């Protein structure tokens, strides 16, 4: 299962039937729980920081079970970048939208008074919680994991010998 052409990751991976089976059973539940915590954080304990972290951890569990390199190829770098940068953009966007409506940064009640959205404050908060913080936290947790797994590459050495994955740029020697 592990792709041994690229360097580094595979030496620590052992295919374990116990871990595979456990993760296959547990992963759908952790993903659902993370989504629930994010989407329902306004009315129950928890919120998008915790929910986003649990969503991110689901990917980490998959990586532990199926190997880091296959997971990394499945979850493209562009997807993770979109998660993190998109989250920041949505958060800023909601804040700037209220300013465009003539108020202050993140003055949610303007969605209600100016745009006529019922419960504008609540939906504004949900937007930055679900669209902003959850995406950022989930993306950064996955980022830190993949970056730590890849490790530090000393100057003047390419860290991958093949470049079959056109989505990622390969750092090569100059």
Positions touching other proteins (CB under 8 A) are 12, 37, 41-47, 49-50, 53-54, 56-57, 60, 64, 72, 77, 80-81, 84-85, 87-88, 91-92, 95, 105-106, 108, 119, 121-122, 125, 128-129, 132-133, 136-137, 139-153, 155, 159, 168-169, 171
Least separation in angstroms between CB 151 and other proteins: 5
Question: Which residues in 106-137 are b (16+ Cβ under 10 Å) and which e?
Answer: bbbebbbebeeeeebeeebbbbbbbbbbbbbb
Q: Which of 99, 108, 102 is nearest to 127 (CA)?
A: 108
- What's the min distance (Å) between Cβ of 102 and other proteins? 17
C-beta of 114 vs 122, nearer to other proteins: 122
DSSP letter for each residue of 120-154: HHHHHHHIIIIIIIHHHHHHHHHHHHHHHHH----
| Shortest reach from residue 164's CB to other proteins, in Å | 13
User: In the bound complex, what is the minimum distance in angstroms from residue 147's beta carbon to other proteins?
Assistant: 5
CA dist 41 and 134 (Å) reads 11
- Comparing CB distances to other proteins, the nearer of 17 and 58 is 58
């Amino acid at each position: 299962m592990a792709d041994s052409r690229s360097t580094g990751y595979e030496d620590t991976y052992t295919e374990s039937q116990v871990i595979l089976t456990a993760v296959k059973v547990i992963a759908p539940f952790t993903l659902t729980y993370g989504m629930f915590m994010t989407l329902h954080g306004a009315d129950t304990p928890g919120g998008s920081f915790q929910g986003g972290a649990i969503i991110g951890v689901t990917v980490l569990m998959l990586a532990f079970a199926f190997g880091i390199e296959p997971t990394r190829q499945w979850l493209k770098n562009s997807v993770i970048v979109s998660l993190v940068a998109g989250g920041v953009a949505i958060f800023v966007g909601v804040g700037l939208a209220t300013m465009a409506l003539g108020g202050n940064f993140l003055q949610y009640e303007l969605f209600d008074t100016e745009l006529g959205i019922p419960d504008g404050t609540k939906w504004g908060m949900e937007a930055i919680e679900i669209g902003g913080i959850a995406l950022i936290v989930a993306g950064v947790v996955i980022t830190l994991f993949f970056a730590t797994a890849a490790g530090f590459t000393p100057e003047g050495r390419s860290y991958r010998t093949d470049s079959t994955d056109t989505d990622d740029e390969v750092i090569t020697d100059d």
